[in-house]
Amino acid sequence: MTDQRATVHVQDHVLIITMIRHAKRNAIDGEMTLAIDAALNRLEDEADLWVGIITGGPDMFCAGTDMAATSGTPTERGGIYGVVGRTRTKPLIAAVEGVAFGGGFEVVMACDMVVAATNARFGLPEVKRGLVATSGAMFRASRVLPLNVAKQVMLSGAELSPADGHRLGLVNELCEPGAALEAALALAAQITANAPIAVQQSLQAIDALASADDSLGWELTAKARKVNMASDDSKEGVAAFFEKRPPEWSGR
């Protein structure tokens, strides 16, 4: 099946979602949010689908929210991007090539496992734009990375290399450029070789424990966004981005 913003393909018991807005580095707009949401609803609802993979193709993963168009309205079942607020019962693997910035990195953090090519680029550059991460990184970054590393990534806007991501536990498997989807399918095959109900119950138990404080995390994220969006610096950062110039921060 083809959507304007994504392709969906089934291989054995695996649903593969490929974001295809390549001219915008797969930046997520409202249409892509709906496409991802529909695909993940299908993964959840069809009994014969046991594992999902989300990828952006062989050249890039996702550059986050389309700052001009916005990512649209959060969906009822999936939340922001149709994925980061979703309660899932089936494993979802991120297959990452190239950039996974901002909201793209937050999509990665919302997945259960990560396969990354050695040319992958992870980063949360929001602070460089006078913004804050609003799609789960506030609480998930310190869940998938050591606390001080999470702080460095979020407060400096510096990139995290795939090698460091693998060493620190964010990335399950490293592979050569162009091979992320193949490696993700191999990981999915390890999972689909097992009893699906046992896998699903195990995942739900792990996630219930890991996400027990998510409601507080979303509350604190909303507070940070509200305070930040009232600042002059948030307006300056966005203006500088579109005007392709260095921002001039005032601290107000």
Q: What does the pLDDT look like over 41-81, one tens digit per residue?
A: 999 999 999 999 999 999 999 999 998 999 999 999 999 99
User: What value does the mean pLDDT take over residues 157-185?
Assistant: 98
Contact 61, 16 (CB under 8 A): no
pTM of this structure: 0.95
Report whether pLDDT(1) > 80: no
DSSP secondary structure letter of residue 247: -
Question: Which of 46, 97, 126, 236 is flagged as catalytic?
Answer: 126
DSSP state letter for 101:
E
Q: Are strands 99-101 and 6-11 parallel, antiparallel or unpaired?
A: unpaired
Respond yes or no: is residue 44 known to be catalytic.
no
The catalytic residue among 97, 106, 159, 173 is 106
* pLDDT above 90 (res 4): no
State how far the Cα of 162 lies from the Cα of 174, in Å rounded to an integer. 7
Cβ(122)–Cβ(98) below 8 Å: no
For tokens 């991460």, the residue is 133
172 has a pLDDT exceeding 90:
yes
DSSP state of 74: P
Q: Has residue 99 got a pLDDT over 80?
A: yes
